[in-house]
Structure 1
Amino acid sequence: MKLLKTTFAALMVTSAAVTAAAACETTLRSSDTHPDGYPTVEAVKYIGEQLKEQTGDRLCIEVFHSAQLGEEKDTIEQTQFGVIDMNRVSLGPFNNIIEETQIPSLPYIFRSVEHMHTVMDGEIGQQILDAFSDHDLVGLAFYDGGSRSFYNSEKPIKSMDDLAGMKFRVMQSDMFVDMVSALGANATPMPYGEVYSSIQTGVIDGAENNWPSYDSSGHFEVAKYYTLDQHLIVPEVLVMAKSSFEKLSAEDQELIKQIAKDSVPVMRELWEAREKESEARVREAGVEIVTDIDKTPFIEAMAPVYEKYVTSDKLKAMVEAIQATE
């Protein structure tokens, strides 16, 4: 019933865009939970502009931002059914669906953002994109999700001891629940759109995210303590419904794949600028930011998470390959 409701909502919102996209023969509907102007939203708009220009108005993309088509878990299902044509989603919600996505979602798997770029732009990244094909999806490109850190409404977190017993929202991923539990805190999976009110009302103490999301969501208004532990550097992924993809000609399929890859440096440039803007805005708002923190105990606490999720020879080889990547 929930899927039917969200599907109906998606169709209603889509119908409102038909007039705007009437100039195109085919308009692809793309979803994003982030607000208009966010780097991922603008990157998909770039794809749409290039696609429209290079196909002579045959193909266009209409981007529905701000979770207009639903929260990420619901939009994944809609994309698998072909109700939504394209979708920008965090890798976290895919962890329980596609095992390969668990590896770049592991805490502290990447040494830096640059390390993540090298890995995801290479053979390992392509291997993970290919894995989407068994789940009625086509993996197109990886975008940046920044480094994620804890923020809360109660106190500055300066060590693992400070996390004990606190309640943090995490994405709907078993791995992220286990990560928070390994640090001694309590994890509460919930949709992104419910976090602000949940912190405000005390249902949870805080959450974890990157600078732009912490800023654009307004979470810094209700959670004024931010600790740069940078436990996750999780890429985000742009996928397409396999049913929508297969309706296109081979030439158009290759064109979409190429333009999606071309959008990655565009997104990264926007992301870097947005991170700086968001950090400055948050600091100006008087948020207490903890930067001097020993990450070693955090990293060591992740041993049981790796043991639980890196089980097959394939996944172990992937971890080893990432760690060996310079």
Structure 2
Amino acid sequence: MFKLVIPTLLASTALVSAANACETTLRSSDTHPDGYPTVVAVERMGEMLEERSEGRLCIEVFHSAQLGEEKDTIEQTQFGVIDMNRVSLGPFNNIIEETQVPSLPYIFRSVEHMHKVMDGPVGQQILDAFGDHDLVGLAFYDGGSRSFYNSEKPITSMADMEGMKFRVMQSDMFVDMVSALGANATPMPYGEVYSGIQTGVIDGAENNWPSYDSSGHFEVAKYYTMDEHLIVPEVLVMSRTAFDGLSAEDQELVRQAAKDSVPVMRELWAAREAESEAKVREAGVEIVTDIDKTPFIEAMVPVYEKYVTSPVLQQMVQDIQATE
């Protein structure tokens, strides 16, 4: 009995001591699991912050949706219940107009183009927009590029997509995107995609390398076309209440540590993508890389006309397209 209890007490005491070592411990939420690139990046940010603040500031990361799903944690962060939050941009689309633009299909020509945009004036404009919603935008992380995959044939042009059925997320914009490409969009829960492809209910779906791998979809959909129609970044935000509770010096330390965590996250994400790509290639997946995206991009004109309606969004789209 004592042999079991004593180590447990010692471990608990160590955790409490570690948490109490800092004057202020910021609670940060993430829906991704332990070890995921975004989780590790915020943990690294916490290490930088603790060192640079000489122990005044620490970050405790609650991964695996321990504090709730993204919609709930956004509200908790706005109310100051949660100090920091790593969230996909999608849930912000109906809250902050500017976040809709990076969610548009083919808005970015490549991952490198996305990095250039989000690291520049447009990215800062989007981060600043969080200020009107009781949040402080700190940094953008990668969420990967999404491409189409299917069980029928290699897709090398829009003509190949004609009449095919693709699963999409529950999003009007994504349904309209697939329709504009000549295919049929089928919104369905992520967990039903594998059997849907296997039984022929759908021909394929779309996602990034790690998800295509971890879901096992590559086992039933062995054609992957790197059209990169969506390259949507993720965002790290802080509660305005928590941020305002810090001194000006510590606020600057938080902002800088967040920026310095970005290259850490990108390196981890690139490694994870490469690992997944290597795995599916080894499994015999046929991957189409030589594809002319121009017709795909031109097909998005009616989608942009429907969703890019305000002068602010229209200007942002122009600024992104002008970024070399």
Q: What's the TM-score, normalizing by structure 1? A: 0.83
* 108 and 60 in structure 1: CA distance in 2 versus 1, 3 angstrom threshold: same
Q: Contact (CA 8 Å) 1:146, 1:235: kept in 2 or not?
A: yes
**In 1, Cα distance between the equivalents of 2:150 and 2:165?**
9
Tell me the SS of whatever aligns to 1:21: helix
Q: Contact (CA 8 Å) 1:95, 1:173: kept in 2 or not?
A: no
**CA shift digits 1:143-199 (9 cap, x unpaired):** 1222211234565544445363524132x5443343233333224275xxxx2x211
**CA shift digits 1:6-26 (9 cap, x unpaired):** xxxxxxxxx9x9736343333
**In 2, Cα distance between the equivalents of 1:101 and 1:36?**
26
Q: Contact (CA 8 Å) 1:52, 1:60: kept in 2 or not?
A: yes
The aligned amino acid for 1:209 is N
Larger Rg: 2
1:61-76 map, 5 Å: 61-76=59-74
Corresponding residue number in structure 2 for 1:119: 117
* 278 and 47 in structure 1: CA distance in 2 versus 1, 3 angstrom threshold: same
- Aligned Cα RMSD in Å? 2.7
Corresponding residue number in structure 1 for 2:262: 264
Choose the corresponding residue for 1:319, options 305, 317, 320. Answer: 317
**In 2, Cα distance between the equivalents of 1:223 and 1:74?**
34
* 23 and 102 in structure 1: CA distance in 2 versus 1, 3 angstrom threshold: same
Report the CA distance between 1:288 and its aligned residue. 3.4
Corresponding residue number in structure 2 for 1:279: 277
Report the CA distance between 1:45 and its aligned residue. 1.0
* 245 and 316 in structure 1: CA distance in 2 versus 1, 3 angstrom threshold: same
Q: Contact (CA 8 Å) 2:105, 2:229: kept in 1 or not?
A: yes
The aligned amino acid for 1:293 is I
| 1:198 equivalent in alignment to 2:192 | yes
Aligned length: 305
Q: Contact (CA 8 Å) 2:134, 2:241: kept in 1 or not?
A: yes
Moved more, 20-29 or 232-241: 20-29
**Unmatched segments (≥5 aa) in structure 2:** 1-11
Corresponding residue number in structure 2 for 1:180: 178
**In 1, Cα distance between the equivalents of 2:75 and 2:205?**
25
Corresponding residue number in structure 2 for 1:166: 165
Q: Contact (CA 8 Å) 1:173, 1:189: kept in 2 or not?
A: no
Tell me the SS of whatever aligns to 1:232: strand
1:97-136 map, 5 Å: 97-136=95-134
Q: Contact (CA 8 Å) 1:130, 1:138: kept in 2 or not?
A: yes
Q: What's the TM-score, normalizing by structure 2? A: 0.83
Choose the corresponding residue for 2:31, options 25, 30, 33. Answer: 33
Tell me the SS of whatever aligns to 2:140: strand
**CA shift digits 1:48-91 (9 cap, x unpaired):** 11112222333221222233333333332332233322222222
Report the CA distance between 1:201 and its aligned residue. 3.7
Moved more, 62-71 or 102-111: 62-71
Tell me the SS of whatever aligns to 1:104: helix
**CA shift digits 1:293-315 (9 cap, x unpaired):** 34333212211111012222222
**In 2, Cα distance between the equivalents of 1:66 and 1:157?**
35
Q: Contact (CA 8 Å) 1:28, 1:61: kept in 2 or not?
A: yes
The aligned amino acid for 2:178 is V
**In 2, Cα distance between the equivalents of 1:157 and 1:74?**
38
Q: Contact (CA 8 Å) 1:181, 1:187: kept in 2 or not?
A: no
**Unmatched segments (≥5 aa) in structure 1:** 1-14
* 279 and 135 in structure 1: CA distance in 2 versus 1, 3 angstrom threshold: same
* 286 and 62 in structure 1: CA distance in 2 versus 1, 3 angstrom threshold: farther
* 25 and 127 in structure 1: CA distance in 2 versus 1, 3 angstrom threshold: same
Identity of aligned residues (%): 80
Corresponding residue number in structure 1 for 2:9: none
**In 1, Cα distance between the equivalents of 2:103 and 2:281?**
28
Tell me the SS of whatever aligns to 1:57: coil
